[in-house]
């Protein structure tokens, strides 16, 4: 069996397994707190047809898109700036790792106070989740560029921007892409989390609102959609990621 056929088979077996697990959980827990996969999918279809769902969805997607752009741009800038300077890289890497492992959700009140309720707070919250992984992966990618490539650049007397453009960036692309993949997921998590606490729109708000109304259908459907979206995009990015790593 080829690699591709194998990974396809694994994915299908896995999805089937998860569906069976879900159905079993439903059988154990029951109608009070859960819905079966079939019921959830049926409700999801009705939910997707309503207008109010689209209002929330576009709101989340807008915030997420801006947050993602910010994460990527700032993350790359920080990563390159630190990666190019050895001492900075050595000093800042552990600090970034420490920042990465703190429960950033506790910073949310500060962000709310600084940005006010609404779109900008969500964006900022999504972005602080995404910037650090992008910066970390970029920093390490730049730092671990083969010395011979950097030396060649020096011999050719490349200016720092030219060095980044024609040597460091192409050499670091696979690692940077891994950073983008992780950054994508975390930015999405950050944005939705931001909506769960103090927001009037978005999928996160929809979830929290559904707890208040004890609307199990909505909780199941929105969670399902979020998981499918996150897993789907990540699957695509992962495939690109593997191809990039393979090329090098």
Binding residues (CB under 8 A) for another protein: these are 6-7, 10-11, 13-14, 17-18, 29, 33-34, 87-88, 90-92, 94-95, 97-98, 101-110, 112-114, 181-182, 184-185, 188-189, 192-193, 196-197, 204, 207-208, 210-211, 214, 216, 219-220, 222-223, 226-227, 230-231, 233-235, 238
CB of 206 to another protein, least distance (A): 10
Comparing CB distances to another protein, the nearer of 43 and 169 is: 43
Comparing CB distances to another protein, the nearer of 172 and 186 is: 186
Q: Which two tokens stand for residue 234?
A: 């990540």
Write the burial class of residue 198 (CB in 10 Å: 0-12 exposed, 13-18 middle, 19+ buried).
Answer: middle
CB of 85 to another protein, least distance (A): 10
Residue where the block lists tokens 């993949």: 181
Run of H or E including 206:
helix 203-213
Comparing CB distances to another protein, the nearer of 48 and 227 is: 227
Comparing CB distances to another protein, the nearer of 87 and 155 is: 87
Write the burial class of residue 225 (CB in 10 Å: 0-12 exposed, 13-18 middle, 19+ buried).
Answer: middle
CB contact at 8 A, 139 and 79 = yes
């Amino acid at each position: 069996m080829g690699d591709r056929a194998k990974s396809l088979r694994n994915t299908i077996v896995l999805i089937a397994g998860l569906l069976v697990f879900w159905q079993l959980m439903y059988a154990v827990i029951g109608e009070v707190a859960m819905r079966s996969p079939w019921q959830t999918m049926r409700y999801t279809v009705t939910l997707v047809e309503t207008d109010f769902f689209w209002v929330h969805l576009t709101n989340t997607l807008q915030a997420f898109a801006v947050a993602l752009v910010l994460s990527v741009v700032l993350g790359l800038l920080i990563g390159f700036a630190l990666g190019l300077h050895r001492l900075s890289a050595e000093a800042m890497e552990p600090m970034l790792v420490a920042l990465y492992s703190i429960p950033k959700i506790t910073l949310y009140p500060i962000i709310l106070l600084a940005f006010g309720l609404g779109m900008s707070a969500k964006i900022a919250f999504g972005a602080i989740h995404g910037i650090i992984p992008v910066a970390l992966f970029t920093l390490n990618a730049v730092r671990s560029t083969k010395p011979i490539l950097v030396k060649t650049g020096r011999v050719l007397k490349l200016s720092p921007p030219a060095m980044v453009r024609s040597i460091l960036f192409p050499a670091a692309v696979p690692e940077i892409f891994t950073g983008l993949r992780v950054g994508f997921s975390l930015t999405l998590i950050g944005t939705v989390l931001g909506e769960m606490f103090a927001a009037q729109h978005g999928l996160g708000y929809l979830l929290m609102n559904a707890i208040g109304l004890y609307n199990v259908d909505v909780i199941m459907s929105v969670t399902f959609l979020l998981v499918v979206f996150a897993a789907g995009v990540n699957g695509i990015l992962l495939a690109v990621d593997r191809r990039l790593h393979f090329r090098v």
